[in-house]
Structure 1
Amino acid sequence: MTHQHEAEERDARQFWEDRYSERDRIWSGKVNPVLSEIVADLDVGTALDLGCGEGGDAVWLAGMGWRVTAVDISATALQRAEQAATERGVDGRITFARHDLATDFPSGVFDLVSAQFLQTPLEFPRAEVLQQAARAVAVSGRLLIVEHGAAPPWMPHDHDHPVDFPTPQQTFDQLELVDQHWRIERLEAKERQATGPNGETGTLMDNIILARRLA
């Protein structure tokens, strides 16, 4: 690892540690709605949760019977996720691990690889990380990417660290999937009503990319 990469990794870890230190809980603790909708129709298997945060998705998946590997860059987030898993009695079905996905991607293949809102205002090789996510999908498994299609109305405007909001097609094109090896099941932008961290309500735009690996 170069000195530049080491500095970027420290900066990213510090950024997210500072973010999670702002309050006792950042996220709602609930499963992301698109994930729960899609997984309801799938057979139980193994799942990789990229950027698991405080564990809402991982805990829910484990409660549904999945065996989950849940990773995040923040030690604080992972500690909270582990506590949530223990409280729900599903800690035996989740492996939590700290990874900076920019430099350290988890090994293995999975029936479901989920990247829920894997977006950051920092420099981040997102296209390469999502390509690695696709390679981690087992044959007959699925890759699910859900991302913000626009800034949430309660998101502060950070002019020093602007966030790019691609279209579903742009994200899909970055995956560089071999057509005959994949079937696209969903590729769309969808609005939903949501509540922000301080009780604000507003309309969110979710980009949804769901692909099944055929070979």
Structure 2
Amino acid sequence: MTDGKPSEEELWDARYGESDRIWSGNPNTALVREITGLEPGSALDLGCGEGGDAIWLAQQGWRVTAVDISGVALDRAARHAAEAGVADRIDWQRHDLGVSFPGGAFDLVSACFLHSHGDMPRERILRAAASAVAPGGVLLVVGHAGPAPWEKPDHHHGVHLPTPQEVLESLGLPEGRWEVQRCEEHERIQTGPDGRPAARTDNTLRVRRLKDRAEPRP
């Protein structure tokens, strides 16, 4: 805690400590849609939470490095992975991504709903995510486009929810080195607190890092 305010880690540990399960345990629908059909390789899951995406990726044959700031979430995710029989395919790491970032290069880097009410430098983290993509690999960024129908307009408390085009521009990708495969808003169905499904709008950015071209022989 600094200046009387809880740290980002304390905020998320408290959030996950509110109940035994915060999320559904299912993978994000955008991840499933965008990644199904890709040849499995190495994947980095940023903000993995309780492990739904990481576990699904491992079940598809990916070797996953799954990262979160909350030790509470990571302990829970590791238990779920063991129950699913994929514990040996996932490396759980705790990082405050504004301070430290996993090493290595990955065939897939996924950042699904990497939003925070705290002081998280999201743009800088996503630029680091792009740098971690191996040649030929994919960066997938999925985010909320606005509040859900049951939420108040100020639910995100001043947190900027960028459009996919804004995310793309903020990455500062070198021209000619990346292919934009998807940059759009989309609707998905989410169950509200009253148990009734409702449509909400999210956005998806999927870019592929092009493989380095071999230099022509003299």
The TM-score normalised by the length of structure 1 is 0.92
Question: How far has the Cα of 1:204 moved from its partner?
Answer: 1.5
Shift of 1:124: 1.4
- Partner residue in 1 for 2:215: none
- Structure 1 residue aligned with 2:123, among 127, 130, 136? 127
Please point out which of 43, 46, 55 is paired with 1:47: 43
Q: Partners in 2 of 1:166 and 1:17 — Cα distance?
A: 26
Give the aligned partner of residue 58 of structure 1.
Answer: 54
Alignment partner of 1:60: what SS?
A: helix
Q: Does 1:110 align with 2:81?
A: no
Q: How does 1:126-145 map to 2 (within 5 A)?
A: 126-145=122-141
Q: Which entry has the higher C-alpha Rg, 1 or 2?
A: 2
Matches of 1:154 and 1:61 in 2, distance apart? 30
Q: Which amino acid aligns with 1:181?
A: R
Runs of 5+ consecutive residues of structure 2 not aligned to the other structure:
213-218
d(CA) in 1 for partners of 2:138, 2:156:
35
- Which residue of 190, 196, 201 corresponds with 1:205? 201
Q: Any unmatched runs of 5+ in structure 1?
A: 1-5
Cross-structure match for 1:3:
none
Aligned pair count reads 210
Cα 1:103/1:121, change in 2 over 3 Å: same
Matched, 1:7 2:2: yes
Which protein has the bigger helix share? 1
Displacement of 1:155 in angstroms is 4.2
Distance 1:154 1:122, change over 3 A: farther
CA RMSD of aligned residues (A): 1.9
Residues in 1 aligned to 2:165 and 2:176: alpha-carbon distance in whole angstroms:
18
Deviation at residue 200 of structure 1 after TM alignment: 4.2
Give the alignment's TM-score, normalised by structure 2.
0.91
Q: Which moved more, 1:107-116 or 1:200-209?
A: 200-209
Q: 1:83 aligns with which of 68, 79, 85?
A: 79
Alignment correspondent of 1:30: 26
Mapped partners of 1:198, 1:82: distance in 2: 30
Percent pairwise identity = 49
